[in-house]
Amino acid sequence: MQDSTFWWRGGVIYQIYPRSFLDSNGDGIGDLPGITEKLDYVASLGVDGIWLSPFFTSPMADFGYDISDYRDVDPMFGTLEDFKTLLRHAHALGLKVIIDQVISHTSDQHPWFQESRCDRDNARADWYVWADPKPDGTPPNNWLSIFGGSAWTFDPRRRQYYLHNFLIEQPDLNFHNPAVRDAQLDNMRFWLELGVDGFRLDTVNFYFHDAQLRDNPALDPGEAKTLGAPEANPYTWQRHVHDISRPENLDFLKQLRALMDEFPGTTTVGEIGDDHPLERMAEYTAGGDKLHMAYTFDLLNAPRSPAYIHEVIERFQRLAGDAWPCWALSNHDVMRSATRWGADEDSEAYPKITLAMLLSLRGSVCLYQGEELGLPEADVPFERIQDPYGKVLWPDFKGRDGCRTPIPWTDDIQGGFSRVEPWLPVDTRHLLRAVSRQEARADSLLNSVRALIAFRREHPALFDGDLRLVDIGDELLGFVREHDDERLLCVFNLGGQARECRLPEHGALLDAPGFTARLENDSLHLPAYQAAYLRLD
C-alpha cells in the first residue's frame, strides 16, 4: 500500500480549466459550483487528484493568469465558500486538490503594482522589476515578451520601464527582494491552511531575473528552438540565459519546499519552459529539498515519433538522478494531442495508444480535461478568438482557444455545458465525443482510459517502478518497468501499420485492457495502434 503522504508519486492528476468545465449559473462561463457538480465524474476516472487552473480575482487580461487578489475567488467563478464546498466534496470522494499559483507576476491592477508605480520612494517601489531607459530612451535590454514585442513597458509616472515576460498587464515581481518572496509564501500558506493539497506552479523558472540586466545572446544558426513558444514568435530566436532560470531560484525553491513540509501530504508540480527543459526539471526536483515534481514541454510539442519519445526519456534518465517528472501530452496552453500528434492517424485508436504510453512512463501524469474523450483541437473562427496571444500572432499561430473550448457533456447544441452561448464555441465534432455518448459504449475511449488507469494502479511497476529503455527499432517504443519482484516489458506501436519485434527477454503477455498483441515464441506481433505488456521471467 502506497504511503498517503506520497500520493502524488506516480499519481494521475486531472487538470480542470474552470472557464470551460461546466456553467452552473447560465452566464456562458464555467464556475466552481459547476466543477463540484461534476466531481463524481472525475472520481469515476480513477484519478488521484485534480489541478484547478486559476480562479482568483483577476481583470482576466490573460484569463486568470493576471491576479489582482491572491486570496479570493473571482465573482465570475463563485465565492470563497464555493471553493470550500468544492474542496470538501473532492476530499470526500478521495480526490486531492491542487491549485495554480501564479507568483512570478501579478496583474497591473494588483494593489502592490498600483503602489509601486506611483513613484520611486514608496514602500513597494522595489517590489517589481523597474529599470531606467538607455540614454536614447529605449528599453534597458533586448529581452522579449512571450506574447510579442519587448518585455519592457515605459511608465511615465516613474519615468522607468517595468519588466513583463508576458502581457503588458502582467508586470513581473522582483524576487531579489526578500519581502516579495515572503509575501508570496504567505499567500500560499493561506491556501494550505484552507486545506489544499498542493500547487501547480506557473512558469516556475521565471521567478528571478539577472540583476545586471544583461542582454540575451542570439540563438546560433541551426540551433534547435526548444522553448514552448511557436516558431512564429521572435522569443524563440534568443537563448534565454539572463531573463529566466537564474541560479538564485534554487534557494527560493528550497524556501518553498520548507513551507510545504509543514503540511505533510502536500505537493508541488512546476511548469518549466526553458532552453534546456529536461536539465532544469532534473535540477529543480532532485535532492528532495525543492519541487516534488515538474513537467516540461518535451511531450507538449510537435515531434511524436517513437524515436523522439525514446530520446526524451533517455535524456531525462541520464540527467535525472533522484528527480521525479510529471508527464503530460496536453494542457490549456498547447494544441490538443489528438490533433498535434494524431491529425493524420486513426481518431479513435491513436489517442488510446498515446494515453497508454503516457500512463506507463516513470513519473506522475497530468491528464487534461477532454483528453479522456479524445477531443481534437477545436476550430475557433477569428471573430470568436479570445486569447491575446492568438490575436497578436494570427494566422501563423491561432492562440490557445482551440484547446480551451467547453467540455461536451451531452450531444446537444451547447454540449450540456451551458444554457446560453458559451464564452468559446462548442466544436460540433466534439458533440460526437460527448461524455453521454461515450458512457453508453463499453469500448469508448472514456471507458478505455478508466481501464488503463485501473491497470496502472494494479501494477506497482507502472506507477512507482524504475524504467529501463530497450532497443526494439525506431518504429516501436519499448521499456522495462520494475518494482520489487514485478518486471514488466511495455511495448507501443504508435503507428498505423502492424509491427513485429523480437523480445529482448522471455515474457508472458498480460491481459491489458483493449489491446490485442500476439506472442509467438519470442516474436511479438503488434497490430496498428496497439500496446503490449509482458511480465518478464
If one counts every other C-beta atom within 10 angstroms of the C-beta of residue 454, the result is: 12
Bridge partners for 508 per DSSP: 535
- Assign residue 60 a region (left: φ > 0; alpha: ψ between -120 and 50; beta: otherwise): left
Angle between the N-to-C axes of helices 445-458 and 349-358, in degrees from 0 to 180, rounded to the nearest 10: 20
One DSSP character per residue, 43-96 reads HHTT-SEEEEPP-EE---TTTTSS-SEEEEE-TTT--HHHHHHHHHHHHHTT-E
C-alpha cell at 9: 508519486
Q: Report whether 474 contacts 460 (CB < 8 A).
A: no
Report the residue count for the chain: 537
Cis geometry, peptide bond prior to residue 388 (ω within 30 degrees of 0): no
Catalytic choice (262, 421, 443, 466):
262
CA atoms within 13 A on the CB side of 126: 8
The order of strands in the sheet holding 523-526 is 499-502, 523-526, 518-520
Q: Go through 31-45 and write b for each residue having 16 or more CB atoms within 10 A of its CB, e for each that does not.
A: bbbbbbebbebbbeb
Burial (CB < 10 A; 0-12, 13-18, 19+), residue 15, is buried
Cβ neighbours, 10 Å, residue 303? 12
Look up cell 531525462; give the residue: 316
Dist CA 137 CA 213 (whole Å): 16
Q: State how far the alpha carbon of 45 is from the alpha carbons of 31, 269, 454, in Å.
A: 21, 21, 9
Q: Verify whether residue 262 is a known catalytic residue.
A: yes
| 8 Å CB contact between 456 and 465 | no
Cα→Cα distances 495→153, 344, 348, 492, Å: 48, 10, 13, 9
Dist CA 501 CA 77 (whole Å) = 52
* Secondary structure class of 141 (helix, strand, coil): coil
Active site residue 202: yes
**CB within 8 Å of 157: residues ≥ 6 apart:** 117, 118, 119
3-class SS letters over 219-260: CCCCCCCCCCCCCCCHHHHECCCCCCCCCCHHHHHHHHHHHH
- Would you tell me how many other CB atoms lie within 10 Å of the CB of residue 421? 11
Strand partners, 267: 198
Catalytic annotation, pick one of 74, 100, 172, 202: 202
Catalytically active residues are 202, 262
